[in-house]
Structure 1
């Protein structure tokens, strides 16, 4: 019985530790320095995949983006084209705050997206209303962007429902000259 209890405690601790995500401050000093306003400015193009909870590829997409700024107020227009022909449009309204944090809204975002960056990494979280079987569902997105070069980043987004990861989106976003 003692061995079983010990084994259960070890499994619980491993599970608990694996559920803890790194904080954006962990990336302080990493380079290149991620400047959200600088990267998301002008034309961008993204290529990505969507995977379900088991890691199976469910969709591919290409996204054309256009971003502009007026002071610390930004607009990012995203036009998605999926491999099955479906299209989607999202227009983000972004505010860059004095403490270098960001907030954002869009018509399909429930509430306000909140995020911050440090070093070469940007992280934000928000609730999104997604089309699903002739209706919509609300999912939570945990969005991490890793600047690889000044013109390219990798974006990994975990999609959670009721605290359980149900999918993942991976994008490569590039500035278009």
Structure 2
């Protein structure tokens, strides 16, 4: 799948518009072989500064085993279709591209576990705007180039 495949799809997904404001999300994680691992909820809030082309986004993931993971993003819109992001547990920068109803995001992040340990995973995220207030997300998590888990989630603007 390539971002260009979505160039003519609608509604058009603009990351900075969708994530501006409050959102709620729900999702699941499946293992490499398709076994259910967990479910989670997401509370998110973003503020887009159009003058600086910057989205400040906070996401709080609450997993069914009781642990949480908080991501505090600074996302810069570099062009109509290109974005880069920073977050404290990301190695380097997250790189993203948008076309039509889709957004693709790639990065490596140290993910905290319930016991406080962290494991570094490569992420390839896909977001698809379903309607103006609903988005579907899919993430492939890799370790040493091998997919180890898949995450699926839905976000709704509230």
**TM-score bracket, shorter-length normalisation:** over 0.9
| CA-CA distance at 1:99 after TM superposition | 4.2
Greater per-residue helix proportion: 1
Unaligned runs of 5+ in 1: 1-21
Distance between the aligned counterparts of 2:130 and 2:98, measured in 1?
Answer: 14
Distance between the aligned counterparts of 1:47 and 1:67, measured in 2?
Answer: 17
**Are residue 60 (structure 1) and residue 39 (structure 2) matched?**
yes
Residue aligned with 2:25, SS: strand
Instruction: Return the match for 1:158 from 140, 143, 150.
Output: 140
Q: How many residues align?
A: 155
Contact 2:81 2:99 in 1 (8 A): no
Distance between the aligned counterparts of 2:154 and 2:37, measured in 1?
Answer: 17
Aligned to 2:59: 78
| CA-CA distance at 1:113 after TM superposition | 0.3
Distance between the aligned counterparts of 1:57 and 1:100, measured in 2?
Answer: 34
Distance between the aligned counterparts of 1:82 and 1:138, measured in 2?
Answer: 18
The TM-score, its normalising length taken from structure 1, stands at: 0.84
Aligned to 1:118: 99
The TM-score, its normalising length taken from structure 2, stands at: 0.94
What does the per-residue CA deviation read over 1:120-156, in whole Å, with 9 as the maximum and x for residues that have no partner? 0000100010135653221100000011001001100
| CA-CA distance at 1:73 after TM superposition | 0.9
**Are residue 24 (structure 1) and residue 15 (structure 2) matched?**
no
What does the per-residue CA deviation read over 1:67-100, in whole Å, with 9 as the maximum and x for residues that have no partner? 0011211111011111111122110001011243
| CA-CA distance at 1:47 after TM superposition | 0.2
Contact 2:142 2:148 in 1 (8 A): yes
Aligned to 1:167: 149
Unaligned runs of 5+ in 2: none
Contact 2:17 2:48 in 1 (8 A): no
